[in-house]
Amino acid sequence: MAASQEHITAGLPRGATLVDGGVAFRFWAPAAQRVYVALDGVFTYLPDPDDELVRDPETGDWTGFFPGVEAGTKYRFYVIGAGGEGFKRDPQARELELYGYPECDALVVDDSAYPWHDQDWTSPATADLIVYQFHVGVFSASDPLGHDRRAHRTAKLLDAVQRVPYLAGLGVTAVQPLPVNEFQGEWSLGYNGTDLFSPEMDYCVDPRALPPYLDAVNDLLAARGAGPLKFEQLAGQANQLKAFVDICHRYGVAVIFDVVYNHAGGGLDPQSLDYIDLPEDPGPYNNAYFSSEGWAGGRVFAFDRRPVRDYLTANALMFLRDFHADGLRLDEVSVIDAKGGWTFCQELTATLRAAHPDATLIAEYWAEIPRLAVEPPPAGMGFHLAYSDALRNGVRAVVADRGAGTGRIADGLRAPGWSYHCLENHDLVLDMDDHRAARIAHLADGSDPRSWYARSRSRVASGVLLTAPGVPLIFMGQEFLEDKLWSDSPGRTDRLIWWDGALGGDRHMADFLRFFRELIRLRRALPALRSTGLNVFSVDEANRVVAFHRWVPGVGEDVVVVLTFSESTLHDYRLGLPRAGRWREVFNSDYYDNFPNPEVAGNGGSVVADGPAMHGLGQSTTLTIPANALLILR
């Protein structure tokens, strides 16, 4: 007889849900003729009437309750359709068997089993975000003796978590790992996801190798006054991702997950959600989850179908609810829009804002009118932040070309306050065709990325990013003057960021890291640098100087940033200031060259604005502006 319908309600989530006494399954396969649940890890299966799910003709869902099934139980769906029969992995499986992918089972997961330590955590406000982007698979991995383990080995989430104290010390307020859901192959950028609800198994640690990682995780928790985890609480893949978030929170760092809702896969396997109901004609118009269109080698989701929109929304809610994420970055929202997903984006942001009002939602949106991403519905899609390339393009142009007009930086500074800015990111500086834009240090001096010219101009470029309105995004290694392109392949040892250089092996990298850390500290200390108040009041192309005023609207707290790409120190440089009286020189980037720079040029700690009106401001002062430098006056 067919599976029991006990515990089956209209609100039952799709996937496998632990309920009192067993597991309730809900599986969407609208054109399937029969669906069975194959339990306990079988590799060959003959349909058994006791395993058969019941079809809801109105929704296309198949449901059933199986008593006695517990967390950790293996399962797959066995589908019979007009075009054939065979296994299908649960598209909403919370965890996959660690071996044999894609010929593997899903695992029933108890979402309440992980003992969170972040009960007092509060997500940072969007305006307070300083985001660090990294790729789990190549970011960091050291053995207990400190030896680098990344060569020809995919790094793990539990490797990355051991860099959380470093990131907290750097001062970033959030991390944004590239996608962490299951994708095909041992390594990838992560944008070819196949099992969107399951953590990437190559980022997770086999239980047999877990003991030293458990010790490291518990040391991190103990250092923040939190109790230890037990072996079984870290053994699962979902738990390892939760532990990463948990420790980030204990160290004051938010987590923003990168999700891909424009397409799936780059060649989906037969047991994936591709042709989930095995139709007679496996053509592009007979696929339940996908439209007839493709993108980036994969399939575009069918945004016009309610169950597909529900599937993607459930994924977003899972990250925010079950993994305690502080926000989501949505990949290529421009593609979602172009392929019919405008309404889906509006529905998604409305749902997430209502359920998790503190979460930050970021759109990678490159359409003609970028502000439509952040305007509320019905005019816009309702995200909090959207990507902007104005500041990035302006800064990179000036860094690359000594003759480029500094007015391009001024134009970038005037980008809207909802802008998500970067100078480097995973796409831009990737060692792959159609990418390969130089990292900032190499852009500043291609012949010697450690020269004074490269060091000083890199400091100015980073200073602009961290003093501009909007939210800054930092790419891994950027904070310590990494000059190499990166690769997502662990085999490319020549493309791994050089931790040893940053932590003492290279004097200039260590000095740059100090500069970056203290500039972040200043951004966090001065609300004006995180606000929307901006007046670019001087653009001096002859001396390549830009000066801008930052303040908190309605409050004040005036800060002035002065930068120059002049290769000579400017003495007795007269500049308007928005208030009369003494201004403290609270930051001078020249101080960090060969730290502490014995030949630093500056203003002895302060200047007095008592000169005549200038630059549209009521008073002025004279300054010494070091060559290729950034000053901050308060």
Chain segment 151-168, per-residue pLDDT in tens: 878 999 999 999 999 999
Least confident among 239-243, 434-438, 584-588: 434-438
In the prediction, which pLDDT does 332 show?
Answer: 97
Residue type present at position 327: G
In DSSP notation, 243-282 reads: HHHHHHHHTT-EEEEEE--SEE-SS--TTSSTTTT--SS-
Q: How far apart are CA 454 and CA 478, in angstroms?
A: 13
**pLDDT category of residue 186 using cuts at 50, 70 and 90:** confident
pLDDT beyond 80 at 330: yes
Q: Which of 536, 510, 531, 519 is nearest to 616 (CA)?
A: 536
pLDDT beyond 80 at 631: yes
In the prediction, which pLDDT does 504 show?
Answer: 87
Average pLDDT, the chain: 96
Residue that has been written with the tokens 């502000």 in this structure: 371
Query: For the segment 242-259, what is each residue's pLDDT rounded down to a tens digit?
Result: 999 999 999 999 999 999
Catalogue all structural domains in the chain, each as residue range(s) with its CATH number. 15-88 (2.60.40.10), 126-527 (3.20.20.80), 531-633 (2.60.40.1180)
Q: Omega into 416 within 30° of 0, i.e. cis?
A: no
pLDDT beyond 90 at 266: no
pLDDT beyond 80 at 404: no
Q: How far apart are CA 38 and CA 2, in angstroms?
A: 13
Laid out side by side, the sheet with 15-19 consists of 15-19, 22-28, 61-67, 54-56
Instruction: Give the tokens for residue 394.
Output: 């302006």
- DSSP 3-state percent helix, strand, coil across the chain (nearest 5): 30, 25, 45
Query: For the segment 465-521, what is each residue's pLDDT rounded down to a tens digit?
Result: 999 999 999 999 999 999 999 999 988 999 999 999 998 899 999 999 999 999 999
- Within 8 A by CB and 6+ apart from 458, the residues are 399, 440, 441, 444, 481, 512
Mean of pLDDT values over 597-624: 97
- Within 8 A by CB and 6+ apart from 293, the residues are 284, 299, 300, 339
Instruction: Name the more confident of 284 and 562.
Output: 562
Query: For the segment 615-625, what is each residue's pLDDT rounded down to a tens digit?
Result: 999 999 999 99
In DSSP notation, 387-429 reads: E--HHHHHHHHHHH-TTS-THHHHHHHTS-TTEEEESS-TTTT
Q: How far apart are CA 445 and CA 461, in angstroms?
A: 13
Q: How far apart are CA 140 and CA 136, in angstroms?
A: 8
Mean of pLDDT values over 73-98: 97
Residue type present at position 347: E
Query: For the segment 318-329, what is each residue's pLDDT rounded down to a tens digit?
Result: 999 999 999 999
**pLDDT category of residue 79 using cuts at 50, 70 and 90:** very high
**pLDDT category of residue 1 using cuts at 50, 70 and 90:** low
Residue type present at position 179: P
User: Please, are residues 190 and 258 in contact by the beta-carbon 8 Å criterion?
Assistant: yes
Separation in Å, CA 91 to CA 195, 260, 275, 277? 6, 15, 12, 12
Separation in Å, CA 625 to CA 462, 520, 597, 613? 17, 21, 15, 20
Q: How far apart are CA 430 and CA 425, in angstroms?
A: 8
pLDDT beyond 70 at 83: yes
Q: How far apart are CA 42 and CA 30, in angstroms?
A: 25
Mean of pLDDT values over 194-215: 97
Q: Name residue 88's beta-bridge partners.
A: 77
Strand ranges for 319-359 from DSSP E:
327-330
Mean of pLDDT values over 402-411: 87
**What 3-state DSSP class applies to 12?**
coil
CA diameter of the chain: 92
**pLDDT category of residue 185 using cuts at 50, 70 and 90:** confident
Query: For the segment 137-151, what is each residue's pLDDT rounded down to a tens digit?
Result: 999 999 888 889 998
